[in-house]
Amino acid sequence: MTEIQQTREKVRIRPDIAAMEHYTPTASLEVFSERLGRPINEIVKLDANENPYGPSAGALAALADLRGVVNIYPDPESRKLRALLQDYVGVSAGHILVGAGADELIDLILRLFIAPGDGVINCPPTFGMYEFDAALVGAQMIAVPRRADFSLDVPAIEAAAHEHDARLLFLCSPNNPDGGLIAPDVLDRLLALPLVVVLDEAYAEFSGTASFAVRVPHTPNLIVLRTFSKWAGLAGLRAGYGIFPLDLMAHLWKIKQPYNLNVAADAAARASLQDLPALQANVQRIISERERLERELAAFPFLQPYPSRSNFVLCRVEGLAAADLRTALEAEGVLVRYYNKPGLRDHIRISAGTPQQTDALLAALRKVLADHQV
Ligand SMILES: *Cc1c(COP(=O)(O)O)cnc(C)c1O
């Protein structure tokens, strides 16, 4: 046995992590560019709900002027950004914690509440990070699948909450990947359960409905998550935030990494909040394009789009394999999301992009229609 093997015998990694499956995030544009033999600027990327218009001019200007900032650690309390968020969200800054994307806050919430074996309810199909981060803290995942129309199975959630003494329930509205909303009366019913409800509103700005964030200060078991990644075009910088009941904030401050929001993300996020009209105009453009997608996709015999209140459209694929459709579109330089997961194997999700990107997608779909004779 080598010395390294001897050490590994003695110091083993956690068995639950050793047994974990690999998580495969979508490949980078560079990887696709090489695989498809196309330059990056000819690839139509509609697979990750990113904002095709990018950051606002103000955010770009802030990023271009980080001299004197980059060499200094950021404010661990992100006070300037939280003061702006107070006005944007309508909840006092004391309730707001910012992080390196909403993803970081999902992780922090699980660390705050979950010891190994504690129950966490997840309602798949939904955003994958709840399950991913819950596994890292050794949570007992309790899956309560959605109905065929992707609505929540409320009685099943209630039964599971009581049966497993669950601590947390992850909800997403509009839900990723279908774009459906949670109705206020459904949320009320779930808030009556003896657990903490984490409501992910990553796509709130596209939904045309009011955020539930304003309810947090008088709802002891509600946490709302938001992000700059989608509506403000800052996905690559990692800036998200959560709105928490006050009594939780004291404990979150203790466990968060002191400099979790980097200075570039902080500057761009603040500039975005001071550039709202331009960003909201982009949001409107994206919503129009989503509506166009819903109409145009329904005309293809092999696609059944679901109504969406977000910046993407989920489609059931009929008459050909969804994975093959994804591959055929990829060959045309159009990237869409395919999930090899229960409940989603015959679906693809398409992000709403620019009108030109929709044109390219529709042209690629017409080619698939002609080639496959479906
Ligand atoms: C994209 C997305 C996020 C991730 O937000 P980040 O701020 O980029 O970490 C969170 N929740 C849902 C549902 C998402 O689709």
CB 141 within 8 A of CB 131: yes
Using the mean position of ligand 1's atoms as its centre, give its distance from the Cα of residue 202 in Å: 5
- Distance in Å, CA 17 to ligand 1 centroid: 24
3-state secondary structure of 241: strand
Give the residue, out of 200, 261, 337, with the most ligand 1 atoms within 8 A of its beta carbon, to mutate for a pocket test.
200
Higher pLDDT, 65 or 21: 65
C-alpha to C-alpha distance for 283 and 309, rounded to whole angstroms: 12
User: Quick one: pLDDT at residue 266?
Assistant: 98
Q: Which residue has the higher pLDDT, 17 or 110?
A: 110
| Distance separating alpha carbons of residues 20 and 349, to the nearest angstrom | 26
Does residue 177's CB lie within 6 angstroms of at least one atom of ligand 1? no
> CB of 175 closer than 6 A to ligand 1?
no
Q: Indicate if ligand 1 lies below 6 Å from the C-beta of 176.
A: yes
Tell me the C-alpha distance between 58 and 268, whole Å: 8
SS3 assignment, position 120: strand
Exposure of 126 in the CB half-sphere (CA atoms within 13 A): 30
Indicate the DSSP class of residue 95: G
Residue nearest atom 6 of ligand 1, based on CA coordinates: 101
User: Which residue has its alpha carbon closest to ligand 1 atom 15?
Assistant: 176
Residue found by looking up tokens 């390196």 in the block = 100
Closest of 157, 74, 166, 79 to residue 120, by C-alpha? 166
**Do residues 194 and 161 touch, judged by C-beta distance below 8 A?**
yes
Closest atom, ligand 1, to C-alpha of 104: 9
Confirm or reject: Cβ of 200 under 6 Å from ligand 1.
yes
Task: State how far the Cα of 118 lies from the Cα of 146, in Å rounded to an integer.
Answer: 22
Share of the chain above pLDDT 90, in %: 87
Distance of CA 190 to the CA centre of its chain: 21
Q: Take atom 12 of ligand 1 and give the residue whose Cα is closest.
A: 202
Domain boundaries, the chain: 3-53+277-372, 58-275
Token pair belonging to 221: 């078991």
Report the atom number in ligand 1 closest to the C-alpha of 172.
13
The yes-or-no verdict on residue 22 having pLDDT over 90 is no
C-alpha closest to that of 124 among 370, 342, 369: 342
The pair of three-digit structure tokens given for residue 121, joined into one six-digit string: 């309810």
- List residues bridging with 170 in a β-sheet: 198
Q: How far apart are CA 326 and CA 334, in angstroms?
A: 9
Measured between alpha carbons, how far is 174 from 286 in angstroms, rounded to an integer?
15
**240 ligand 1 Cβ < 6 A:** yes
pLDDT in tens, 124-142: 999 999 999 999 999 999 9
- Supply the CATH classification number for the domain 3-53+277-372: 3.90.1150.10
Please give the pLDDT value at position 28: 82
**Fold of domain 58-275:** Aspartate Aminotransferase; domain 2 (3.40.640)
227 CB near ligand 1 (under 6 Å): yes
> What string of H, E and C letters represents the secondary structure of 272-300?
HHCCHHHHHHHHHHHHHHHHHHHHHHHCC
Taking residues 53-79, report their average pLDDT: 97
Q: What is the residue-averaged pLDDT of the chain?
A: 95
Atom from ligand 1 closest to the CA of residue 227 = 7
Query: 283: Cβ below 6 Å to ligand 1?
Result: no
Indicate the pTM of the whole model.
0.95
Ligand 1 centroid vs 102 CA: distance in angstroms?
6
Say whether the peptide bond before residue 125 is cis (omega within 30 degrees of 0): yes
pLDDT tens digits along 300-322: 999 999 999 999 999 999 999 99
Least confident residue range of 87-91, 129-133, 183-187, 368-372: 368-372
Q: List, for residues 243-286, the tens digit of each pLDDT value.
A: 999 999 999 999 999 999 999 999 999 999 999 999 999 999 99
Residue 166 pLDDT exceeds 70: yes
Alpha helices, DSSP H, located in the chain: 3-10, 15-18, 29-36, 57-64, 79-85, 101-113, 129-136, 154-164, 184-191, 246-255, 263-273, 276-298, 322-331, 355-372
Identity of residue 364: A
At 51, the pLDDT band (50, 70, 90 cuts) reads: very high
Name the one residue in this structure whose structure tokens are 């330059």.
Answer: 39
DSSP conformation letters of 175-235 = PTTT-PPPPHHHHHHHHTSSSEEEEE-TTGGGTSS--GGGGGGG-TTEEEEEESTTTTS-T
Q: Which of the listed residues 26, 205, 227, 261 should we mutate to test ligand 1's pocket, taking the one with most ligand atoms within 8 A of CB?
A: 227
pLDDT digits (tens, 9 = 90+) for 183-239: 999 999 999 999 999 999 999 999 999 999 999 999 999 999 999 999 999 999 999
Parallel, antiparallel, or unpaired: how do β-strands 196-200 and 222-227 relate?
parallel
